[in-house]
Amino acid sequence: MQQLSDEELISRSRSGGAASPSDPYVEELFRRHQRKVALWCLRYSADREEALDLSQEVLAQTFRRLDSFQGNSKFSTWLYTICRNHCLNHVKSRATQPDTTGEEALSFLAAPDNGPMEDQLARRDQLALARSWIRNSLEETERRVFLMHFMDEMPLDAITRALGLSNASGAKAFIVSARRKLGEAARRWRLQSEA
Amino acid sequence: MRPEEIIRGEDCLTPADLEALLEGRLPEAQAHVDICPVCEYELASLREFLAGEAGAAEQQDLAWMEARLQPAAPPVTRRKWLSWFPAAPLPRFAYTCAAALLVVAGSLQLRHMAGPSLVDSHSTTVRSSQIRILAPAGDLDTAPVEFSWEAIPQAAAYEVVVTEVDGTLLWSNRTSSSKLFTPASIQQQMLPRKSLLWRVRALDAQGVVIAESSPERIRVLSAATR
Ligand SMILES: [Zn+2]
């Protein structure tokens, strides 16, 4: 059984109708991957007890959805998308209040300074601009923290833990510097395009 | 416009694309990753997930978790724990609870399945320790925002299980306090006029069940407000 790929395990588990959690193929499949899930959940939890609960939720959800696995990607990638979304929902539901400072910081990416010229920017130009500002202005960790906070809407304390940041103010320091740098990039771009 | 819509384009890569790139089957996708911070981030996340490499500080917690996420015991052993149901006829609700526990335990290599706690709680542990449920109980105007019970002195953690009456698991979670908040998503799943059962178990520091409540029936009369 250990020579079988994940996808072969799934198809064998289906051969006798709906898969059961005690199916040996299913057991082997989850045995292979539970460590990845556990580690990911640990990074998205305040402590190991919470992480254990989260892992079990992810595994249970994966099992419930196993029938819908289409094989568009490998099982491990599919498991990742389930795990990632579940952990994100978890840290968001745990957040005491929505952090809205992110929206403000991003607004200049959507319509920089609300100027008439920027209003006319085509969507794809806005996208290209946003990408280049983030890519060119921010350091690697700043980019990561920025996207976790603004795109995935993760609270800062959760980001600090997920990335294992050890500096004094954690993710907050990176967000502060990212906002400043993006603001500068937006200003530079405006000056250039007006010249 | 949501933040994600600002920085994610139609040309962004799917998880399957990212996987193919990682495995060298789609090298041309690298050009997009080089200009796109979103895909750079997604690729790094997927790579980290698949690698599953724990840092030194994570090793201990991970080992603790893995010990409790062990693959299920062989079928023979697992069938054995069904034996904690007495042969004598049980009230209907007892079967319901049994079904609920089966779902919890069986839903997937959950620690209950391999671990001795579930077996112990019914076969060997003296069941004189009962947890008294405080709320909710009976018919409710709206979905309960929290579950609460009387604390047990030796308890290190409590586990709440909410099921439909046929035993289908709706929600289960753990806490160290004597109440547990209901996530909004779960409140929404508590459909109007549908009876549910909930119960709580107390666990000691080793994860062994030391007390439990009787199942409590609840029914929400109107839909969740959000
Ligand atoms: Zn992209």
What CA–CA distances, in Å, run from A191 to A114, A185, A187, B220? 15, 10, 6, 60
Domains, chain B, ordered by start = 3-69 (no CATH), 133-225 (2.60.40.1220)
**pLDDT, greater one: B221 or B96:** B221
How is chain B split among helix, strand and coil, in percent rounded to 5?
A: 40, 20, 40
Residue B64 — pLDDT band, cuts 50, 70, 90? very high
d(CA B224, CA B226): 6
**A155 and A95 Cβ atoms separated by less than 8 Å:** yes
DSSP three-state, residue B138: strand
Q: How far is the CA of A182 from the centre of ligand 1 (A)?
A: 19
| CATH topology assigned to domain A1-97 | Rna Polymerase Sigma Factor; Chain: A (1.10.1740)
Nearest to A40 among B49, B61, B66 (CB): B49
Judged by CB atoms closer than 8 Å, whether chains meet at A56 and B3 is answered as no
Residue B114 — pLDDT band, cuts 50, 70, 90? very low
Chain A residue with minimal CA distance to B36?
A: A131
pLDDT of amino acid A78: 96
Residue A177 — pLDDT band, cuts 50, 70, 90? very high
Q: How far is the CA of B43 from the centre of ligand 1 (A)?
A: 10
Judged by CB atoms closer than 8 Å, whether chains meet at B109 and A35 is answered as no
The rounded mean pLDDT for chain A is 84
Lowest mean pLDDT among A25-39, B18-32, B156-170: B156-170
Q: Where are the domains of chain A?
A: 1-97, 98-195
Percent of chain A predicted with pLDDT > 90: 48
Phi, psi values for residue B71, rounded to 5°: -55, 150
Residue A74 — pLDDT band, cuts 50, 70, 90? very high
Range among A50-59, A93-102, B67-76 rated most confident: A50-59
Q: How far is the CA of B30 from the centre of ligand 1 (A)?
A: 10
| pLDDT beyond 80 at B8 | yes
Nearest to A83 by CA among A25, A42, A27: A42
Chain B residue with minimal CA distance to A51?
A: B65
Q: How far is the CA of B14 from the centre of ligand 1 (A)?
A: 9
Q: What would the mean pLDDT of B12-29 be, rounded to a whole number?
A: 96
Q: So what's the ipTM on this one? A: 0.85
Which residues in chain B are contacts of A56 at CB distance < 8 A? 69, 108, 110-111
d(CA B71, CA A189): 56
Nearest to B214 by CA among B103, B117, B132: B132
b/e burial code for range A81-115 (CB count within 10 A of at least 16 → b): eebbebbbebbeebeeeeeeebeebbebbbebeee
Token couple for A181: 């740098």
Residue B130 — pLDDT band, cuts 50, 70, 90? confident
| pLDDT beyond 80 at B126 | no
First to last CA, chain A: 67
Half-sphere exposure of A120 (CA within 13 A, CB side): 2
**A146 and A176 Cβ atoms separated by less than 8 Å:** no
